[in-house]
A and B are shown apart, each in its own frame.
Chain A
Amino acid sequence: MAGLFSFVMDFIRIALRGDKLYYGWMATLTGLILVGIACYIQQFDQGLIVTGMSDQVSWGTYIANFVFLVGAAAAAVMLVIPSYIFHDDDFKHVVLLAEGLAVAACVMCMLFVTVDLGRPDRFWHIIPLIGQFNFPISMLAWDVVVIAGYLLLNLTIPFYILFTRYKGGDPDMRIYFPGVMLSILWAISIHTVTAFLLSSNVARPFWHTAILGPRFLASAFCAGPAFFLLTLQVIKKYTTFPIKITIFRRLSIIVTAALQINLFLLLAEVFTEFYHQTQHAASAAYLFFGLGGKSALVPWIWTAIAMNVVAVIIMTIHPLRERIGFLSFACVLMVVGVWIEKGMGLIVPGFIPTPLGEIFEYTPTWIEIGISIGIWAIGLLIYTVLAKAAIGVEQGAIRMKTN
């Protein structure tokens, strides 16, 4: 491990160096993180009473963001497969950035779950061996395992590749290939497990459906790469890192197919719920049309559907998709659309009505929103630093000094 220290130091050095725009961006993120911390201190002190959650709707913004970000983390696999399995050089060029995004998303996932805990001081109770880990019965225990494991995989593989390049060598495929294979399976598993976390609940008919897992994967593989595509645009614009147009083209094909499948699965779900409406369709009725005079989520879900429909039209029409402006617009629509549909549009209506038929609505408080923004800022900060350093190594800006 010769050179590890200088690698870390160079890594930190390049993360701290930049132009005015870079400092401005990092300062903004830091400011938002501080706002998040201030909000969290208040929540820690007074309890989760400062959130909009209740006994009726006992999960809200935090878990909604968690579910969305698990998808974003899993999406890295869509670049890992072509890069490492099919040795596509264009994809290989950016795959480390995708893995960096996966790391950032995993960290955000863990933070969102942690801020949702009533007793974060007892966090050690959930750590295997030290605490009491209800494995394999509890789906939440599974989620802890798969997300921690996925984070580890996405840290170690890029680390090995970057560190080898830093030392001026070529990464040995025999070393990293088993890890890559594992991370592909693992990416599928993190989102499947998170879907099972919800679909295993007999108490919540809205989630208790076999289609939830497939829907999760489909939406992840459109929103995740779409988000990544947007970050590539930013990197292309503000750095000298060359990103070929073919990357955008190929990624947009993946995104288009996933989005089409996602909309089809949504249609299948809606048809089954409403053709002959049973009491189990009450949550869906609340989400799409309102129930008992309560309809807080109705404008949100229709906005999300409209966004996804416009996006799928743009993405399906080849000449439109080819134009970068349209492509970026469609990506924004998809990311926001899926974030609403899979976050608030999936978690919150699962609780409305309650198992005893009470219709009680949920609105996040400013503290909840502040904490959520803080966590997003942490994620973006991590991604920025990792991407900047990875680009530095790839372009040869940092190399180990050889005497």
Chain B
Amino acid sequence: MDTEKTMGQADMTSAKKSSTGITRRSLLKKMGIAGATAVATTAAGTVAANVSGENATEFGDAVGEFFQDHYQKMSKQEIEEALARLERQYKRKYGVEVKVDNTPPQPNVLYGYALNISKCKGYRKCVDACVTENNQSRDPQVQFIRVLEMNKGSMNLEESDHYYNPELVPQEGKFYLPVQCMQCENPPCVNACPTKATWKEPDGIVAIDYNWCIGCRYCMTACPYWARHFNWSEPEIPQEEINPVTHYLGNRPRPKGVVEKCYFCVQRTRKDQQPACQEACPTGARVFGNLLDPKSEIRYILENKTVFRLKEDLGTEPKFWYFTD
């Protein structure tokens, strides 16, 4: 992995600005809002004039959403408006006060994950914790982590069971291989995206702007780890199960028709918490940390254990390692 390059990137803020982009977009947006005001006044009898304020209407927010720029192109103020708009929209849809924050990446941090497959017993506690933490659609159910039940003595994924459901795990003669987004240093999905809706953040997380994705699913075709999932219909989450602590690039509830995937719990990890899957694991198989910190546990594992990565031959440089005791 190219550590030096990544450290350099960590100094930059995630929201790069393009002055020309902003001017053009603000103009478009103003025109759109003016149009919206006219239509809303006549049709619905409501005024959508104060779109960014308290009195913003559903229609005004829809217009604002339509003209919202790419995450990396938005100014600070535009991002603030986008976050407030999302919070209003979630309130309307779920009846919950959801907080959408935009915590930037920390300097000199590059996240990595290591998983001890001799400790993993296939309980799938990580899968459940992930769904709850990350506001994934319950119906149809979207899961970021897939635990494969593998035959001992083989790494052949095609012989794995994705839907194992015995009375007791672990089963005789089996071992368990959890797979999720590897946050590759050389991610094929990022190259595939025609609209730059997915990119690598300075802390190594491969993020998606759910408001920019057009839903072509080319990234799903490109991913060798089957880490990317699509919202085939309007995601449904029961009101009482909404996690109100969210991040724009992370666990905020997703719209219909866009791709999503694991982002190392960006809403937690950028605030020095562990990912939900790490906390939920009852066997302590999961180790998450900063690859740039020589004293971190993950660095200890990489330096002292025999590790491997999945499909390393594809040159994707995953930041997710497997190891054994």
Contact = CB atoms under 8 A, between A and B. Distances in A.
Interface in B35-57: none
Interface SS majority for chain A: loop
Interface SS majority for chain B: loop
B214 A117 contact: yes
B179 interface: yes
A71 interface: no
Contacts of B311: 355
Contacts of B192: 138-140, 201
Given A58-B221, A125-B214, A118 B195 contact: no
Contacts of A130: 24
A288 interface: no
A356 B146 contact: yes
Nearest to A202: B314
B195 A126 contact: yes
B191 A55 contact: no
A204 interface: yes
B189 to A, nearest CB: 9
Interface in A118-171: 118-123, 125-126, 130-134, 137-141, 144
Contacts of A58: 217, 220-221, 230
A64 B66 CA distance: 30
B12 interface: no
Contacts of B214: 117-120, 122-123, 125-126
Contact of B258 (A118, A137, A350, A359): A118
B102 interface: no
A293 interface: no
Nearest to B235: A47
B233 A356 contact: no
Given A139-B192, A140-B192, A144-B194, A125 B212 contact: yes
B195 A201 contact: no
A138 B189 CA distance: 9
B234 interface: yes
A118 B215 contact: yes
Contacts of B314: 202-203
B148 A356 contact: yes
Interface string B238-269: 00000000000000000111110000000000
A36 interface: no
Given A58-B221, A118-B217, A353-B158, A141 B146 contact: no
A279 interface: yes
B177 to A, nearest CB: 9
Contacts of B316: 202
A14 interface: no
B195 A55 contact: no
A107 to B, nearest CB: 19
Contact of A356 (B24, B157, B215): B157
Given A55-B220, A118-B230, A356-B157, A49 B140 contact: yes
A140 B197 CA distance: 13
A117 B216 contact: yes
A294 to B, nearest CB: 12
Contacts of A59: 217, 221
Nearest to A131: B195
Interface in A168-218: 197, 201-204
Contact of B232 (A47, A113, A119, A125): A47
A47 B231 contact: yes
Given A47-B257, A126-B214, A279-B156, A203 B191 contact: no
A123 B214 CA distance: 7
B206 interface: no
A138 B192 CA distance: 5
Contact of B196 (A54, A118, A132): A132
A279 B195 CA distance: 33
B223 interface: yes
A134 B193 contact: yes
B164 interface: no
B195 A133 contact: yes
A138 B218 contact: yes
Contact of A357 (B157, B191, B232): B157
A181 B228 CA distance: 42
A133 to B, nearest CB: 7
Contacts of A118: 213-217, 230-231, 256-259
A203 B66 CA distance: 33
Interface in B119-161: 140, 146, 148, 156-160
B151 to A, nearest CB: 12
A121 to B, nearest CB: 7
A126 B160 CA distance: 38
Given A49-B232, A55-B228, A355-B225, 15 more contacts: A47-B256, A118-B217, A131-B195, A132-B73, A132-B197, A133-B194, A138-B194, A202-B224, A203-B221, A279-B158, A355-B224, A356-B226, A357-B148, A357-B160, A358-B162
18 contacts: A46-B233, A47-B232, A48-B232, A48-B233, A53-B232, A58-B217, A58-B230, A59-B217, A118-B257, A119-B257, A122-B214, A126-B195, A132-B195, A138-B218, A140-B192, A141-B194, A202-B316, A279-B156
What 8 A-B pairs come out closest when comparing CB atoms? A118-B215, A118-B257, A357-B157, A357-B158, A203-B224, A49-B233, A140-B194, A49-B232
